Amino acid sequence: MLSEEEKTLPEENEILFPPWYEPTAEEREALVEETLTGETLDAVIEAGFQRIKKSLPGYEMRKDQISMAKDILRSFYRGHNSVIEAGTGTGKSFAYLIAGTAISYLKAGRVVISTETRGLQMQLFEKDLEFIRKNVDSSLPYSLALGSSNYLCRLRYDEAMSRGAFLDVVDSSGMEEISRWAKNAFSGKNDGNYFFAPFPIPYSFWSSISRDSQGCPGRRCFHYSSCNYFRVKNSWAQSRIIVANHHLVLYNFINDKATLPPYTALVLDEGHGFLETAYRIFTLTQADASLEENSRLYEKNIQAAGHLPMGGEMAAEYSEKIVATRNSWKKIFQQWEIALDLSFSDEGTKSIEKNHLKLTPALKEDYEIVIENLREMEESINAKLEDIEDSATLNALMGFMKFCQNARELVEAFYELHLQKKARKNIYWGTKKKGVFHLNTVPLSVGEPIAGFLTEPVVFTSATLGFWSASGKPRNAEEMTQKGYFNPLVKDYGADLFHTKKIYLSDFPYQKNARIYIPADIFSPVFGAPQEEQRAYEKKLFDRILDLCELSRGGALVLFTSNYLLDKAHEYMEENSDLEIYHQRIHGVSEAISLFRDNPNSVLMGTISYWQGIDISGFALRHIIITKLYFNPPDDPIFAARAREMKEKGESDFFGLSLPWASMLLRQAAGRLIRSRTDKGVISILDDRLIKKNYGEILLNNLPPVKILKNLKDLEAEAKTALLFKEE
């Protein structure tokens, strides 16, 4: 018999037509034989949107939205993968939700919807799916899936409370609130989800009481029957639609698809960021202090648990082995830190070449000691697991065993770099963060391995998936697909992955409701330019930001490419403007957005977090100010390695990698302005490269067709004539 978390959909969920569609006898027979025609699939989609129309007075059926939903359902039903770019206003969320719900009935399986940003994930879960359940499918079961570290752990909570981990972190009244909330989570009254806690929990404390996926004993934990996390996982298994995120989907891949329940189809919304997230997930990283910290924590937890599973001679052998391993580990990291010239730095990143550090006999011995000892400890702990009954001991053993495995894999990768076994297959780099040195490695190409995990039909969708590199503005979507609009994406994941490629262009009145301002007199100095040149640029930039914010009287989102310029510009605006200024790092990412949304005469300033994902419609956001084009940092080791590979193949890394990435971010940033047909405003881009460099025209051709102004007086006149900064 299946346990609760192993169940798939409830037994009554057989292959069916969705409840909003009444099929003919022939269609019922075709459903059983799995031979539904495209016409029937289209009719299912149309019937779903008819339900929406009936429940929303004034709702207009959108042709592109319905066509997109039909494309997705056909692809899913036939087992095909597709890439669909949908411009702002297409209504892609309802398109894939209706199609996803339909296929969950037609194939008797669940669908996973994955997003890059938590904002969209919560919108789908709290608003869009709730609307569909109320108006389209009243019995639709759906759930929200977050990574396990977002959930409270009873075992770790009890342990933290017993050792007073909350002292000096949470005051007595705050601890009383947390205790009541935790008690309710363990009794099933809430999910114990960090993001839904009714009060803030200091992250330093949360990290000691949240689920540790590495050491979780699972079924063998004596809290398993009342575990809030596994209770939540069971709800995923009982859902037709699961709203997840890219991190969780990728962890599911590398965990042999055991994190999420089986699914019939996958939607990757905000799919433009999936590859970048994958590089982060697939990166192996360890700090110079990792082994000592983890081994001491392991020893401390084992002692706290009351007994050491490796007693007597085994305990002495373990002590001797861990001391030798720590010594060799330190030598390996120290030699790399010296080789990369990071010994006297607190912050820094250096790419590693195969000949960066010579493999001496002594260093070779250190590698072999670490690899062999970590493997032996891993195997020794694994052999003891079956004999352990205490949950806390299991947690400590499994956590340390997983660390040994991860640490060994990283050290093996660097040893193989010396031996040149993986020199051209992996990217290697060292980093210094707040004085702590790390070694890192990741496969050079993660797109093709990802494609291997996509065994269920998938649709990649976003408003910025492609890149138009041909001359002139594209005339239509057909020309874009024919001339390689999706080539960079296809190249990342493999030419054979996508069966269907579609583009739905936004029909918003950009030419009427928006203008682009690009001044020709602001240009940033090149890297390493004299300090006085940098200061002159900053003064001119900040003056223009002030002028532009005053012109729109707030309602401005100002985007930067560095924390340094953000902080300096914020300081300047605070001194010279009477507008309320909200700073991403001072007020917090979410809180700053909330304050800005509620104050129509304010300015919001931030870096990369605000270039995409923000959704503020109407008068509250009427001016986007982009201070500089955002290209990949040249010291980014992953970008540098991918660029080097392209050069070796005789390809242009700038036009094949840098420019598509810069275009995607520029389009994402500009896309924050017009979120509905009635939105108005200005996109100011304070970077003269757009009008002076040959690639500037390419970047502009990827933006909506909007009138471009180069003079501030012309902008003032246009804003007044077109009422761009007036609330209607």
Give the residue-averaged pLDDT of 110-132. 95
- Residue 118 inside a domain? The answer is yes
Residue 249 vs residues 145, 461, 658: alpha-carbon distances, Å: 10, 15, 26
Give the residue-averaged pLDDT of 58-68. 90
Give the residue-averaged pLDDT of 467-482. 91
Whether residue 326 is found in the same domain as residue 278? no
Q: Is the pLDDT of residue 5 over 50?
A: no
Measure the CA–CA gap between 587 and 90, rounded to whole angstroms: 33
The predicted-structure confidence for 612-666, as pLDDT tens digits, reads as follows 988 898 999 999 999 999 998 878 999 999 999 999 999 999 999 999 999 999 9
Whether residue 620 is found in the same domain as residue 515? yes
| Residues sharing a CB contact under 8 Å with residue 291, sequence separation 6 or more, in sequence order | 325, 326, 329, 407
- Residue 581 inside a domain? The answer is yes
Helix (H, G, I), strand (E, B) or coil at 137: coil
- Say which DSSP state 710 is in: -
Residue 32 vs residues 28, 133, 181, 542: alpha-carbon distances, Å: 7, 26, 48, 66
- Residue 5 inside a domain? The answer is no
- Residue 707 inside a domain? The answer is yes
Please choose, from the candidates 238, 235, 233, 272, the residue with its C-alpha nearest in 3D space to the C-alpha of residue 252. 233
Q: What is the pLDDT of residue 4?
A: 42
Between 3 and 413, residue with greater pLDDT: 413
- Residue 74 inside a domain? The answer is yes
Give the residue-averaged pLDDT of 109-135. 95
Domain stop point among 489, 507, 525: 507
Helix (H, G, I), strand (E, B) or coil at 349: strand
Whether residue 562 is found in the same domain as residue 674? yes
Whether residue 577 is found in the same domain as residue 647? yes
The predicted-structure confidence for 26-62, as pLDDT tens digits, reads as follows 999 999 999 999 999 999 999 999 999 998 887 778 9
- Among left, alpha and beta (phi > 0; psi -120 to 50; other), residue 348 is left
462-487 in b/e form (b: 16+ CB < 10 A) is bbbbbbbbeeeebeebeebbeeebbe
Helix (H, G, I), strand (E, B) or coil at 444: coil
Q: What is the pLDDT of residue 388?
A: 85
Whether residue 157 is found in the same domain as residue 264? no
Whether residue 523 is found in the same domain as residue 584? yes
The predicted-structure confidence for 129-176, as pLDDT tens digits, reads as follows 999 999 999 999 999 999 999 999 999 999 888 878 777 778 888 888
CB-based contact 373:137 (threshold 8 Å): no
Q: Is the pLDDT of residue 11 over 60?
A: no
Q: What is the pLDDT of residue 68?
A: 98
Q: What is the pLDDT of residue 12?
A: 52
Whether residue 125 is found in the same domain as residue 88? yes
Whether residue 123 is found in the same domain as residue 262? yes
Q: What is the pLDDT of residue 224?
A: 93
Whether residue 168 is found in the same domain as residue 44? no
What is the DSSP track for 596-616?
A: HHH-TTEEEEESGGGSSS---
Task: Kindly indicate the confidence band of residue 9, based on its pLDDT and cuts at 50, 70 and 90.
Answer: low
Q: Is the pLDDT of residue 7 over 70?
A: no
Q: Which of 181-185, 300-304, 366-370 has the lowest mean pLDDT?
A: 300-304
- Residue 728 inside a domain? The answer is no
Residues 531, 536, 539, 541: what is their CA dihedral angle, to the nearest 10 degrees? -100
- Residue 4 inside a domain? The answer is no
Measure the CA–CA gap between 648 and 424, rounded to whole angstroms: 12
Whether residue 328 is found in the same domain as residue 424? yes
Between 311 and 419, residue with greater pLDDT: 419
Q: Which of 30-34, 297-301, 530-534, 681-685 has the lowest mean pLDDT?
A: 297-301
Between 495 and 547, residue with greater pLDDT: 547
Task: Kindly indicate the confidence band of residue 300, based on its pLDDT and cuts at 50, 70 and 90.
Answer: confident
Q: What is the pLDDT of residue 528?
A: 75
One-letter-per-residue 3-state SS of 639-707: HHHHHHHHHHCCCCHHHHHHHHHHHHHHHHHHCCCCCCCCCCEEEEECCCHHHHCHHHHHHHHCCCCCE
Q: Which of 118-132, 286-300, 411-425, 446-460 has the lowest mean pLDDT?
A: 411-425
Q: What is the pLDDT of residue 171?
A: 83
- Say which DSSP state 1 is in: -
- Total Cβ atoms within 10 A of residue 510: 22
Whether residue 202 is found in the same domain as residue 214? yes
Domain stop point among 486, 507, 528: 507
Please choose, from the candidates 154, 153, 156, 159, the residue with its C-alpha nearest in 3D space to the C-alpha of residue 306. 159
Domain residues for 217? 149-237
The predicted-structure confidence for 577-592, as pLDDT tens digits, reads as follows 999 999 999 998 889 9
| Residues sharing a CB contact under 8 Å with residue 610, sequence separation 6 or more, in sequence order | 557, 559, 584, 589, 604, 672
The answer, as to whether pTM is greater than 0.85, is yes
Whether residue 94 is found in the same domain as residue 154? no
Give the residue-averaged pLDDT of 468-494. 91
Q: Is the pLDDT of residue 306 over 90?
A: no
Which phi and psi angles does 718 have, rounded to 5°? -65, -40
Take residue 441 and report the two structure tokens written for it. Answer: 């490695």
CATH of the domain at 42: 3.40.50.300
Q: Is the pLDDT of residue 313 over 90?
A: no
How many domains, in total, are found in the chain? 4
Residue identified by tokens 């919560």 is 122
- Residue 196 inside a domain? The answer is yes
Domain stop point among 443, 458, 473: 443
